[in-house]
Each structure stands twice: as structure tokens, then as C-alpha cells.
Amino acid sequence: MEIKICLETWKRVLPDFKVRRWTYQDAKAIGCQFIDEALEAKKWAFAADVVRFYAVYTEGGIYMDSDIFIKNVLIRLSLNMVLPLFMNILEIG
């Protein structure tokens, strides 16, 4: 599915949500040695995993890949279940 179409569903179905796009420069600005080394080695997935955790931990909210197509607002119900679980994992780890 085309990413542009997926992102349009976010705007349509979740109009009150703020979407934040994380760039290479944002990842570098975190100042994490692991991220910097992963980026230098072009290990994009390793860097992205840590950036995802950092983003949700520091800014809150949820993380979704850009190829997620949202059909309805059921995601609002699942936030109450998923986010506390994710935050607990961060606190334990």
C-alpha cells in the first residue's frame, strides 16, 4: 500500500492526533552513542528501534510505521491497553 494513502487515513480518522516524523537529524540530535554508531554503520533498523523507544518514552503517545492504514477509531480504545504496557516494559528494562 502506498505510504501517502496510509498517512491520509491518519489525518482523516484521527484528526486530533499530532503526527511527528523523525528524521536522520533528529536521531543524531538524541546524542546516543548506540544510535550514532548504528547510523554510521548504516544499520538503519537498529537505530530506528532505539529512536522509537526514545520517542515514545520522552514524548508519549504511540508509534506507528508509516505503512499503517487506519480504518476506524478503534485505536483510541486500544491506547488505554497498549500504552501502559509499553511504558511498563520501558520501566522494567
pLDDT digits over 49-90, tens only? Answer: 999 999 988 888 888 888 889 887 755 545 554 544 444 444
Residues in Cβ contact with 61 at an 8 Å cutoff, skipping those fewer than 6 apart: 17, 18, 83
**pTM beyond 0.85, yes or no:** no
Q: What is the DSSP-derived secondary structure letter of residue 61?
A: S
Indicate the SS3 state at residue 63: coil
Q: What's residue 29's pLDDT?
A: 97
- Please say whether the beta carbons of 35 and 51 come within 8 A: yes
Q: What's residue 63's pLDDT?
A: 85
Q: What's residue 67's pLDDT?
A: 87
Q: What is the DSSP-derived secondary structure letter of residue 27?
A: H
**Other beta carbons less than 10 A from residue 90's beta carbon:** 11
Cell of 78: 486500544
**Rounded mean pLDDT of 43-47?**
95
